[in-house]
Amino acid sequence: MAVVVGYVTTPEGRAALAAAIMETRRRESRLVVVLTHGPNSDDESLDALADTVRDELDEADVAYEVRQISRTDDVAETLVTTAEDLGAELLVIGLRRRSPVGKLILGTNAQRILLDAPCPVLAVKPAES
Residue 54 has pLDDT above 60, yes or no: yes
- Residue 30's SS3 state is strand
Count: domains in the chain: 1
This prediction's pTM: 0.88
Beta strands in 1-129 (DSSP E): 2-7, 30-35, 63-68, 90-94, 121-124
For position 41, what pLDDT does the model report?
63
Q: Which domain holds residue 79?
A: 8-124
CA distance linking residue 44 with residue 2, whole number of Å: 28
Say if 3 falls within a structural domain: no
Structure confidence at residue 106 (pLDDT) = 55
Give the domain CATH number at 113: 3.40.50.620
DSSP string, 74-114: -HHHHHHHHHHHHT-SEEEEE-----TTGGGS--HHHHHHH
